[in-house]
Structure 1
Amino acid sequence: KWAFEPDPIKAAHMMIAHIDKKRQALGLDKARERVLFDMAMRRALD
């Protein structure tokens, strides 16, 4: 699907909406808790 928008602000909004739609389709739109791993935690992963 192709789209053209001469206004750069509207074009940016279209791109962001498209990216958000693809993220939602992949299940990447949910926020996850981020954990900072120290060296001991990294070694425990192996």
Structure 2
Amino acid sequence: MEKKQWTAPSVEVLHISETMAGQGVTKMDFTYVDGKLVDIDVYDS
């Protein structure tokens, strides 16, 4: 039986905006009360 040759491990760098399916999508949900902005929700998918 032959020994396998050791190789140095490699590091993969991923960008925070990428998902397994590729570039992600950012959705923003604004809530207004009496014409004033009261809440913003940000969703990354």
**TM-score normalised by L of structure 1:** 0.20
Task: Give the structure, 1 or 2, with the largest relative contact order (CA under 8 Å, sep 6 or more).
Answer: 2
Please state which structure has a larger fraction of its residues in strand: 2
Please state which structure has a larger fraction of its residues in helix: 1
Computing the radius of gyration from Cα coordinates, the structure with the larger value is 2
**TM-score normalised by L of structure 2:** 0.20
